[in-house]
A and B are shown apart, each in its own frame.
Chain A
Amino acid sequence: MTDQTAESIPIEKPVKPKGPLVYRQSIFTRVTHWVWVVALFFLLLSGLQIWNAHPALYIGEQSGFEFDNTILAIGAENTDQGVRGFTTIFGHKFDTTGVLGVSEARGRQNFIGFPAWATIPSTRDLATGRVVHFFFAWILVATLAIWLIASLANRHFWRDILLKPRDVAGLPKDLVAHATFRFHHGRSYTPLQKLSYFVVLVILFPLIILTGLTMSPGMNAAWPWLLDVFGGRQTARTIHFAVMVLLVLFFVVHIAMVLLAGPFNELRSMITGYYRTSPGTEPDAKETSK
């Protein structure tokens, strides 16, 4: 009797329904992705080193020393409580001691814009910062060119990056889905993903490269329109910095989304190219013919 009862209880393992494993990321997408991880890391930290040589941002062609066109400045000042670090943004002054203006490294107080842990090298060394920055700037430009050519050729750009009217219409729904952490794993990207990658690859990357070139006096002679487009060399420097901030924000959200959407599957697709999709996704043509 007891055996029978036991038998009658169905031992049901909760099997999560799986969609097919599809080949989603081409070798060009994967290689350029990881090259950018390395290049952007060095560009960011060497860029902050370079910025520390003159930790202020201006609007216009020149830097106002006898007039005011400063929109952001980091500095150290003597106060009643000793030397404090201050960051001034659009005239609003914040005490940023410990991180910006005044920070500690190797048990010593440093009077420096960004702290030692955020710069390459960790000590003040503009010359070395420039060596690192320009090397990886070339890497970024070259890989972006390779990625663009490959993505136009293999239709990745058309299929996954460019927003079609259907994607634009689907944006609000996808926004809600992401906000409630309900992720759909499809063959291509969701509208919000397409928009994010479009903004980074087609807007922010070219913008940070062009504003970087606008700071070059040599390039100013060749392409004077750069100065007109970006409103002067110091404005270009400010935009270069602002795009850096946006890319850091993108990085934070990108990592958060990878963790929330399933880091194993997401990492596998960016390493091997294969991606486990949600149920109902059409399998690869190769798979079905097997």
Chain B
Amino acid sequence: MSQLILSRRRLLGVGAAGASSLILSGCDQFDFLTNRNDPTRNFLERANELTYAAQRALVPHQALAREYSPSEIRQGMRPNGSTDPRDVQEYADLVATNFTNYRLSVTGLVETPMSFTLDELRNMPARSQITRHDCVEGWSCIAKWTGTTLGAVLDQAKPKATAKFAVYHCYDQMGGGLSAPEPYYESSDLIDAYHPQTILAYGLNDKTLPIANGAPIRIRIERALGYKQPKYVHTIELVDSFARFGRGNGGYWEDHGYEWYGGI
């Protein structure tokens, strides 16, 4: 009899475990898609290429992102991602000397590799724009950005005809903890790099760009999401492929499963 009760209890236990695993499997049976190399995921990701192609076909290459009136700056620019990369010695040294030793390098597929001091960049024709920053998480924030148009800087270095993309290398490092720190980098096609609103921003809301928002230079690509606005940029490299950087997907977040174009 006691054996019977035990087995009945065991049966109940097995039944309960079975039922709960059924419920659990109901919510996580698509979790295989989180594997970045899963073939089904890679198939679904091809929709992103369609989005990129469709937007490049539909959106005039010079079409501007909306610019807002000063009254719509209703709050400070919300910092996100890296907000203080002074753990990187090279960057800490720059901050200690107030960026006097900072140089922005333009390298790669250019006729004349160049480098610019912060003062040189500030003395070039400036552009100010009050635009909306859209984070991939879903929030938006309006702020005024001031800087030098990237197109004018690239033109001085004379890009070669083989250049297809601009890769933006940054001082800040992401990750850490269990994973090795990875330097932040981003990239864009030359349409976005030469867009009239794409600037090397050194000013935010009429003040010097603060460290939390990417001092001394942050790239603004106004028709893309926040992760396409790299902070603490030190080098712009023109390339025909970004396969050799990071894990080859064209940016830190792209290497972690986000799509490259970033316009949606």
Residues of A within 8 A of B24 (CB): 105-106
Q: Does chain B have a CB within 8 A of A126? A: yes
Q: B140 contacts which of A119, A127, A233 (Cβ < 8 Å)? A: A233
Known: A132-B44, A134-B47. 14 other contacts (CB 8 A): A54-B138, A61-B72, A61-B132, A116-B27, A121-B28, A126-B137, A127-B256, A127-B257, A135-B44, A137-B47, A217-B65, A218-B59, A221-B59, A227-B66
Q: Are B257 and A131 in contact (CB under 8 A)?
A: yes
State which size class the interface on A falls in. 35 or more
Q: Are B140 and A63 in contact (CB under 8 A)?
A: yes
How many chain B residues have a CB neighbour from A under 8 Å? 52
A contacts with B: majority SS: helix
* Among all A-B residue pairs, the 4 with the closest Cβ atoms: A218-B263, A127-B257, A66-B75, A54-B138
Residues of B within 8 A of A62 (CB): 72, 74-75, 132, 139-142
Which residue of chain A has the shortest Cβ distance to B50 in the bound complex?
A138
Q: Are A53 and B34 in contact (CB under 8 A)?
A: no
Which residue of chain A has the shortest Cβ distance to B46 in the bound complex?
A135
Which residue of chain A has the shortest Cβ distance to B41 in the bound complex?
A131
29 of the cross-chain contacts (CB-CB < 8 Å) are A45-B30, A61-B72, A61-B140, A61-B142, A62-B74, A62-B142, A65-B75, A65-B78, A66-B76, A120-B30, A121-B33, A125-B34, A125-B257, A126-B136, A128-B41, A130-B258, A132-B33, A134-B51, A134-B264, A135-B44, A215-B264, A217-B132, A217-B134, A217-B225, A219-B263, A221-B59, A222-B59, A224-B66, A233-B140
Which residue of chain B has the shortest Cβ distance to A212 in the bound complex?
B264
Residues of B within 8 A of A227 (CB): 66
Bound-state CA distance A227–B64 (Å) is: 14
Q: Are A215 and B134 in contact (CB under 8 A)?
A: yes
Residues of A within 8 A of B258 (CB): 126-127, 130
Bound-state CA distance A65–B66 (Å) is: 21
Bound-state CA distance A118–B30 (Å) is: 12
Bound-state CA distance A127–B260 (Å) is: 11
Which residue of chain B has the shortest Cβ distance to A227 in the bound complex?
B66
Q: Does chain B have a CB within 8 A of A251? A: no
Q: Are B136 and A219 in contact (CB under 8 A)?
A: no
Which residue of chain A has the shortest Cβ distance to B258 in the bound complex?
A127
Bound-state CA distance A138–B141 (Å) is: 28
Q: Does chain A have a CB within 8 A of B68? A: yes
Q: Are A50 and B138 in contact (CB under 8 A)?
A: yes
Q: Does chain A have a CB within 8 A of B1? A: no
Query: Chain B, 82-118, contact with A by CB distance < 8 Å: what is the 0/1 string?
Result: 0000000000000000000000000000000000000
Q: Does chain A have a CB within 8 A of B31? A: yes
Q: Does chain B have a CB within 8 A of A187? A: no
Which residue of chain A has the shortest Cβ distance to B25 in the bound complex?
A122
Q: Are A130 and B31 in contact (CB under 8 A)?
A: no
Residues of A within 8 A of B264 (CB): 134, 215-219
Knowing A66-B75, A121-B30, A216-B264, say if A135 contacts B47 (CB, 8 Å): yes
Residues of B within 8 A of A105 (CB): 24, 27
Residues of A within 8 A of B223 (CB): 217-218, 220-221
Q: Does chain A have a CB within 8 A of B119? A: no
Q: Does chain B have a CB within 8 A of A51? A: yes
Q: Does chain B have a CB within 8 A of A84? A: no
Residues of A within 8 A of B48 (CB): 131, 134
Residues of B within 8 A of A54 (CB): 135, 137-139
Q: Are A51 and B27 in contact (CB under 8 A)?
A: no
Q: Are B65 and A221 in contact (CB under 8 A)?
A: yes
